Amino acid sequence: ETAAGALRNLSACGGFEVCDDMVTKDIMTPLVALLKECSAGLDSNEMSPQEKKDQNRNSIENIANEAMNVLWNICECSSRAVSIFNKEGCLEIVLKFLSRFPTNVDLAISVAYCLQTVTEDNPELLKSFSDPGLHVLESAMLSPVSSMEYILLKTLVAGTIWNLKDIIPSKSQAEIINAILKVLSDVLDLDAGETVIRMQEAEKQRLEAAAETEDVLESASRDALIEDDEMEEIPHKRKVRRKTFVSDLLPSTDRELRETIALLTAQQTALEIIVNMCCTEDPSDDEWEELSSSDESDAFMENSFSECGGQLLSPLCLSHEVHTAFTNYLIPKKIFEKTAFPNSTAVDICSRSPTWKSLIR
């Protein structure tokens, strides 16, 4: 798990060159083997005490989570890694991990990030999707859990399903697109500024309660040691007790900050998915640059202006299903609302907190 975590950090911080070098040095072979081993471990039916079984399973899922992050980072930077993903049949493995979303949302989110990456412009992989695989995605996207982390998961899965639109039967297109836009609409409905304020207050109350409980436990531990010293039966013995603080039981990452980051990431991802929905087969950037530098550019713009009936910008070429869903869920209005300046109170809260300051960009 530690080694996988180190590779995760290396692939995340190293950028394209590091990830490409990792692929060149055949990182994918041991990585795929590790993922298969984790998958087999989760399927293991070995008889063992329940507590030990749960502990082993959690350890396997933690390793799988680290490995999935490495896979995602590498596939995002290397087309060769994506090709290996296709050839090695990794899809079945990662979908199995995703199916554990009811009990391990962290692992599911890592898988969803990876799936959104590898399903983009990858017709070879689309052929590998089966009905059970699509059902796993649908179940995750329609999960009733409303925590911020699950909202992020559902948003990422919605993006993946949009990438799979070409293999969805035409009779189901409208229903699927409507479900995707429903998820994105719900994400954009949430007020990130109010969430920051609420979560920061919740963090403050939690830390205060933890400090009070810690003081009580410390006092109780001190009293117990005094009682031990006063016991006549064992006058020379003194029990050594490790003080147990509530703060010891808390996760290393502040839960409220983590939830807030999940919401902000979900909203950014939702906007990116909507942009992809609006994209058409227009000329590439290189083609536009070549055109703009030519002598024909002025004539082209003049003709475009005339052909569009006086409108320089042509309308979006949206399908009827997408256009209808956009209208029903007021997507343009919600996008426009996100252009407003962030809540000043929330910005002030973040600017005064070293840990929350990272949210200001």
The counts of H helices and E strands in the chain are 18, 0
Q: In the structure encoding, which two tokens stand for residue 301, read together?
A: 């713009």
Q: In the structure encoding, which two tokens stand for residue 115, read together?
A: 């799936």
pLDDT digits (tens, 9 = 90+) for 42-80: 887 443 444 444 556 678 999 999 999 999 999 999 999
Distance CA 72, CA 116 (A): 9
Distance CA 124, CA 87 (A): 9
pLDDT digits (tens, 9 = 90+) for 336-354: 999 998 999 999 999 999 9
Confidence of residue 129 (pLDDT cuts 50, 70, 90): very high
pLDDT digits (tens, 9 = 90+) for 239-278: 333 333 333 333 445 899 999 999 999 999 999 999 999 9
For residue 267, the model assigns a pLDDT of 97
Distance CA 125, CA 108 (A): 19
Domains in the chain, please, with CATH? 2-190 (1.25.10.10)
**What's the burial of 186, exposed, middle or buried (CB within 10 Å: 0-12/13-18/19+)?**
middle
